[in-house]
Structure 1
């Protein structure tokens, strides 16, 4: 065991866990994109050709461990591992390692969605895996690890979500629940994390963290090695941890149990921002967004408008199928100084279980792009929408500045500054917005980065004229393609 990890274990050092809140950004970048179900070679190219040039900080990738082959190849098969071989429909270990290296080389970090809670669920008979392994999930036999019955909690269902025992020791939707208190299981999980760290990843999204005791996760995280300095990480840097904990404020197993260990997914952010931009809550109330709404402290909250689960659930959360409201919510997400931001990049779906785009042999197909750079063959690629990638740049430009000069019309028109670096305005009313507002920017002509971009010194969209006192006339008509306008210091003619 590594020296720093041993110190963490023996002294329960808070410094080690606090370090796990650091996403290890490169430069001023500060937005993660989830390239859901993308192949490793495609991610590597995207890092080099699009993500790095447009200022993205990192990529959350789909689970890397060998999973069952399920009929129809639903997306959730990736969440049913049968071994820890790095062999999935996204690629093999060599391709994964190459992707991590290529992305790190251009300053884009890789975060792996890891499955520490469980193995595959109640599969009838022998299950076959994407790496050629076999298992008998119903018998809790996973010889490629190997795991046997003694490595799991006893089989039981979760009926009462306010019963801690059921939530943390019974089987989530039938998935075989590992016993993280067993030394052998802990060793196997730490070995998996260490192997990925050696390959150069920057951290982990921990799936179903709520279904594991925080003390057990603390032991596992503390046992991990430091990040690999050969991939450009500082000496003694700890992996970034963000944990899936669904907590709407009335859960027996609370998000607060996990915040000392790393960041936590703030699902209420997703729900409330959806309500606001769907028109079910006035935008004026967003002035106190963040902790004022009962959310986690900013540095502990992993925030998103939607993720791969809740975009399919049909609730208040927005997704790509409501593009105008989705882009407005995403712009607010990236403009308001709260949380560790993650952008969703989806594939199109009509059914909840639908597979990612695949060919007749059930192989995932690579995204294809049109002349404007948008995806055209079943992939949605929200991260390539101009209104979103330009707001990622906005977030980079205003990093470290405070919100100031909030304005609203008492309803669904709002605007605010980010220091003297950026200004953003929103119109979610059914009537036009026309206001003279303080932008906090120096005098000049600025490109609205929502309707266009700054290209060769000229604006391809709206031009906003800021006067000597920092004021500008801001116009957003009710029937415009986008209901938001944004300008910043690095998009000036």
Structure 2
């Protein structure tokens, strides 16, 4: 075996209980136990390491987000002639930690800072391929490495790539999907022990730096057993936990996401289509039966309203839709299906290929959430941020006290731990307005902070206070494209 050294610098009311997701029960002897994610993830798309360290300390940690997903940290192609597009990051040329977001020291400092703030770090990793045909002759990588397609000195040689050196032409042919090239990207021979060992070594370097898990890009284009072989060799994360693994699987008639759940969770794009569509149309009452519409079990799914691909290629609902988008993300964190992931990236305007704000050499400028910033800080918007703590407070509780008006208004509890109401009536320019009504909950009597309208800090609320009576009812006004969210950890005077 060849060894390679890696250098890594009408109203409907119901009290029926819908159970919450059970803890994963994996009986497949080949299945690998997973570390649980105890709250929502934020995909901090394109953020540089120094800025992320500060954001974990100042916002992400205090808000109660469980983890962040960071962009690939590996050295990648540089496409100056194309204006340094976002997809550079998904064309690695080595596994050195020298990307446009920073070097190994900056990456390590970010991981330490986020962990100290109570935020786990999940890394987006590219294992299916290396650089593509379009990057040939574009010069060295972001860390200075000279390379050619199928030749990456110190990492891979020609024999480490599949022989089908053409684009995938037939997506109904599973062999072709997994062995030919995805839009011209050099397809790695992931069945090879040498390739697997190289990839496991790279991931373990990250784990040893404090990384807690991985999002596997383009997993559909690799055989499930190949990914399993790589992740089975991962080190434990402190204090002896198994790294959390979730995989990008765009399911179709040929490939199902469930093929990949023996060794990790999987994304479900059917959820994205359903939830984004409902909040875009303002017709959300049907979401009550959402789990019955989806093929993955809740404990196997990672769900989102938009990600960096969908907001560019199939924009049913994105940051450009404002409050409707934020409300959909709030729902994802309130409803007990899957692990919710929120997208926070940057404003790309009409140029869907645009990369993050960068200097003249393509290296990412500091990110921030101030007025006029090009960065889209969805995770800080109150409709979204307040739901991070809600998600943690109601963990393990099923849906109770469901109510809807058959259209744009829904409300439900999470046992006696929390209660939410959503008014999607303002979606996509609708003229529907605010609604005032009495809601029935299972919450104990008390005064609660509405965390969709303000922060709960040091026992005080910067938003609306809501009084729940001894019979569990409360009356509130719900604005269009807004909601109400109460939970036991945001009770005033407690």
Q: How high is the TM-score relative to the length of structure 1? A: 0.88
Instruction: Give the superposition deviation at 1:126.
Output: 5.9
Q: Aligned partners of 1:211 and 1:337: how far apart in 2? A: 29
Does residue 1:234 correspond to 2:245, yes or no?
Answer: no
Instruction: Give the superposition deviation at 1:365.
Output: 1.2
Name the counterpart of 1:383.
Answer: 379
Give the 5 Å matches for 1:470-489: 470-478=472-480, 482-489=481-488
Gaps of 5+ in 1: 1-11, 228-232
Instruction: Give the superposition deviation at 1:403.
Output: 1.1
1:405 is paired with a residue whose SS is strand
Name the counterpart of 1:169.
Answer: 179
Aligned partner of 2:93 among 75, 82, 98: 82
1:150-181 Cα offsets, whole Å, 9 max, x none, are: 53333021121111122111100100000111
Name the counterpart of 1:43.
Answer: 52
1:455-484 Cα offsets, whole Å, 9 max, x none, are: 565543333222110111132244xxx421
Aligned partner of 2:43 among 22, 30, 34: 34
Mean alpha-carbon deviation: is it higher for 296-305 or for 450-459?
Answer: 450-459
2:132 is paired with a residue whose SS is coil
Does residue 1:65 correspond to 2:74, yes or no?
Answer: yes
Name the counterpart of 1:4.
Answer: none
Name the counterpart of 1:425.
Answer: 421
Name the counterpart of 1:277.
Answer: 279
Closer/same/farther in 2, CA of residues 55 and 469 from structure 1, 3 Å limit: same
Mean alpha-carbon deviation: is it higher for 483-492 or for 212-221?
Answer: 483-492
Mean alpha-carbon deviation: is it higher for 456-465 or for 48-57?
Answer: 456-465
Aligned partner of 2:61 among 38, 48, 52: 52
Name the counterpart of 1:442.
Answer: 444
Give the 5 Å matches for 1:51-450: 51-71=60-80, 72-122=83-133, 123-125=135-137, 127-137=139-149, 140-227=150-237, 233-235=238-240, 237-247=241-251, 250-279=252-281, 282-290=283-291, 292-316=292-316, 318-350=317-349, 351-370=351-370, 376-429=372-425, 430-450=432-452
Instruction: Give the superposition deviation at 1:216.
Output: 1.5
Give the 5 Å matches for 1:5-16: 14=28
Instruction: Give the superposition deviation at 1:40.
Output: 1.2
Closer/same/farther in 2, CA of residues 182 and 361 from structure 1, 3 Å limit: closer
1:35-88 Cα offsets, whole Å, 9 max, x none, are: 111111211222222221111111111001110111211110000011111110
Q: Aligned partners of 1:369 and 1:256: how far apart in 2? A: 38
Q: Aligned partners of 1:388 and 1:170: how far apart in 2? A: 40
1:350-407 Cα offsets, whole Å, 9 max, x none, are: 211101012344331112344xxxx642101111112111111111111222210000
Q: Aligned partners of 2:69 and 2:482: how far apart in 1? A: 29
Instruction: Give the superposition deviation at 1:431.
Output: 4.5
Instruction: Give the superposition deviation at 1:102.
Output: 2.2
Q: Is the 8 A contact 2:47 2:345 kept in 1?
A: no
Q: Aligned partners of 1:53 and 1:443: how far apart in 2? A: 27
Q: Is the 8 A contact 2:347 2:376 kept in 1?
A: yes
Q: Is the 8 A contact 1:305 1:330 kept in 2?
A: yes
Closer/same/farther in 2, CA of residues 454 and 113 from structure 1, 3 Å limit: closer
Gaps of 5+ in 2: 1-25, 426-431
Deviating above 6 A after TM superposition, structure 1's stretches of 4 or more consecutive aligned residues are none
Name the counterpart of 1:19.
Answer: 33
Instruction: Give the superposition deviation at 1:433.
Output: 2.2
Q: Is the 8 A contact 2:160 2:195 kept in 1?
A: no
Q: Aligned partners of 2:225 and 2:54: how far apart in 1? A: 39
1:124-163 Cα offsets, whole Å, 9 max, x none, are: 33641011101111xx111141322453333021121111
1:306-327 Cα offsets, whole Å, 9 max, x none, are: 11111111342x1110112111
Q: Is the 8 A contact 2:437 2:477 kept in 1?
A: yes
Larger RCO, structure (CA 8 Å, separation 6 or more) = 2
Q: Aligned partners of 1:154 and 1:457: how far apart in 2? A: 62
Q: Is the 8 A contact 1:169 1:211 kept in 2?
A: yes
